[in-house]
Amino acid sequence: MAIFREFAQLCEEIEKESGKKEKARLIGEFLRQLSPEEGRIASHLFLGSFPAGRRIFVSWNTLMDTLGEMFPLSPKDLQKIGKSAVDIGEMVEGIYKRWGRYKSRGITIREIYEKLASLAELEGKGAMRKRKTILKGLLVGMDSLEAKYLTKTIVGEMRIGVKEGMVLEGLAYAVGISIGEVRKGFLLYGDIGKTVENFLSKGRTALLSLSLKPFQPLQPMLAQMAYSVREAFEEIEGDLALEFKYDGARVQIHKEGDKVMIFSRHLNDLTSSFPEVVEEVKSNIKGDAILEGEVVAVKEGRFMPFQEILRRVTRKREITRMQREIPLKLFLFDCLYADGESLIERSYEERWERLREIKGGIALAERIVPEDVEKGEEFFRKALESGAEGVMAKALKGIYTPGSRGKLWLKVKKSATLDLLIIGAEWGYGRRHNWLSDYHLACWDREKRELLMVGKTFKGLTDEEFEEMTKRLLSLKVREEGKVVYVKPEVVVEVAFNDIQRSPRYKCGYALRLARILRIREDKRPEEADDLSAVEKIYHSQ
Ligand code: ATP
């Protein structure tokens, strides 16, 4: 809880500091430690505009009368103190110092807010008496520094050289985003307190949420890996839901009036690839919405491999034939916007409820809110039996965090896999002598921005894929040493393995045992491959 005395001390520091940047940094450091609500209060305190938009009717006379009840003030004393004080705040400070009667009881900024709010509400008969009682109640529990800044706040003149712009600079520093974004948020929120409160609680999402509207796609929220349902229960705070993790293409569906657009995980326009999804959405969803789901290829009631859906995405012609060959099914799992309202700041629980209300006849992801780990594990087995890739565990209270891979969503797969980059390949033997078939696999060390080899494999691809891959890798060749062709790290592959061992063979100290390629991740960019921490995490979870 933020203590008013700390705030007063900070104001002293800010006042003495002449550099604007440093002043903003001090504000930022302070805001960073506050709850969003305290941030709102503090921002008004800094500006002496408190409580927001309301006036506190405390006149000079009321203040002096109150102090007169607390100290044996004589006109002579007042004159003497007044001589060296530059404003009323310093005057009050001088009075406190002259008699040294009161100590700080450590009042919080929230209590100050509540008391001042009640002062602002007083009117009519007896208001003056009550005002004095409240004021005295505050002042007797303060030392000279707190009394100085309480007075400054009440009269609305802080004189510490802080204007709105500087509070915004401090906020940008506290949240770690650009001042441009914060200013934009301020224009949209229209109030400094609200701006600070929203950015402190939601970070960049605060801004996104304000500007969210159909046809402006937003970066999808991503998941971290958990290695078992039990781990998901341990990692996620509070209750969670489990959903089937379908193995298809993620889609972000935007609808306004009669117009529908579909975006991929990388926000490419997929509208023309999935005409049946467009029709399904048009005929089922009544109002405007932004929805998320997974489109899966399904034939005769069975899920088809992920590669099939890719064919639907890459093929731009003969869509009707493709529709027949590779039928699709859409499973919705999130609702980010509905009828003019952004929902990304709402909890997943509320978003799901909204999704259920508006989905019409469209299927939702299969889901449960498991009572315990055992029920969760049962659901996980059911997911695998149905042909899903695993489950997604989602915190019921979690907001939607665009573009971030946090712990509000965790994915649990049948067995852990890594997305790795092919950095080199060896010419094969015998039947494979014309192919580059033994692939060198690497993960990132993001801090050092280097790639670290963690294993090799020649398993997992079909003959057709080996042939394709050979051509592709040769086009990426940077040099050849002996039987190894080194390539530009562009191809991401999802790799399964039996386990990870400690090994001096590779610089990173780990090696994958019995690695095999599950699929080529055409949908992943090189920078999206896993990093060493993912390898370490799996190693420790074994
Ligand atoms: P992966 O390689 O495991 O598919 P990714 O990096 O593409 O992962 P993650 O956020 O790590 O993306 O994992 C979640 C992915 O799982 C989503 O991008 C989405 O395509 C897919 N998915 C399938 N079913 C669901 C679901 N019910 N909820 C959320 N995502 C789902």
pLDDT digit string, tens, across residues 79-108 = 989 888 889 999 999 999 999 899 999 999
Residue nearest (by alpha carbon) to ligand 1 atom 5: 222
User: Residue 469 C-alpha to ligand 1 middle, in angstroms?
Assistant: 25
Q: How far is the CA of 250 from the centre of ligand 1 (A)?
A: 7
Both tokens assigned to 403: 């573009």
pLDDT interval class at 123 (50, 70, 90): confident
- Span 522-538, pLDDT tens digits: 888 999 999 999 999 88
Q: What is the pLDDT of residue 187?
A: 78
- Tell me which residue has its CA closest to atom 26 in ligand 1: 245
**Substitution site in 218, 222, 530 for ligand 1 pocket (most atoms within 8 Å of beta carbon):** 222
Residues annotated catalytic, as ranges: 245
Fold (CATH) for 227-413: D-amino Acid Aminotransferase; Chain A, domain 1 (3.30.470)
Q: What is the C-alpha separation between 309 and 248, in angstroms, rounded?
A: 6
392, 417, 523, 530: which to mutate for ligand 1, most atoms within 8 A of CB?
Answer: 392
> Which CATH code fits 417-541?
2.40.50.140
pLDDT, tens digit (0-9, with 9 covering 90-100), for 245-258: 999 999 999 999 99
Average pLDDT over all residues of the chain:
91
Burial 79-97 (b: 16+ CB within 10 A, else e): eebeeeeeebbbbbbbbbe
Is the CB of residue 235 less than 8 Å from the CB of residue 410?
yes
* Domain regions of the chain by residue span: 227-413, 417-541
Compute the distance from residue 440 Cα to the ligand 1 centre, in Å. 26
Residue 206 CA to residue 221 CA, distance in Å, equals 15
The Å distance, Cα 4 to ligand 1 centre, comes to: 46
Is the pTM above the cut of 0.75? Answer: no
- The answer to whether residue 53 scores a pLDDT higher than 60 is no
Q: Which residues line ligand 1 (CB under 6 A)?
A: 222-223, 243-246, 250, 265, 294, 333, 365, 392, 411
CA nearest ligand 1 atom 11, residue: 223
The span from the CA of 117 to the CA of 45, in Å, is: 12
Q: Is the pLDDT of residue 49 over 80?
A: no
Phi, psi (deg, nearest 5) at residue 133: -65, -45
- Of the pLDDT bands very low, low, confident and very high (cuts 50, 70, 90), residue 216 is confident
Half-sphere exposure of 77 (CA within 13 A, CB side): 15
Residue of 253, 294, 295 to test ligand 1 pocket, by largest number of atoms within 8 Å of CB: 294
Nearest CA to ligand 1 atom 13: 223
Peptide bond just before 489 cis, omega within 30 deg: no
What per-residue confidence (pLDDT) applies to 84? Answer: 87
Q: What percent of the chain has pLDDT over 90?
A: 65
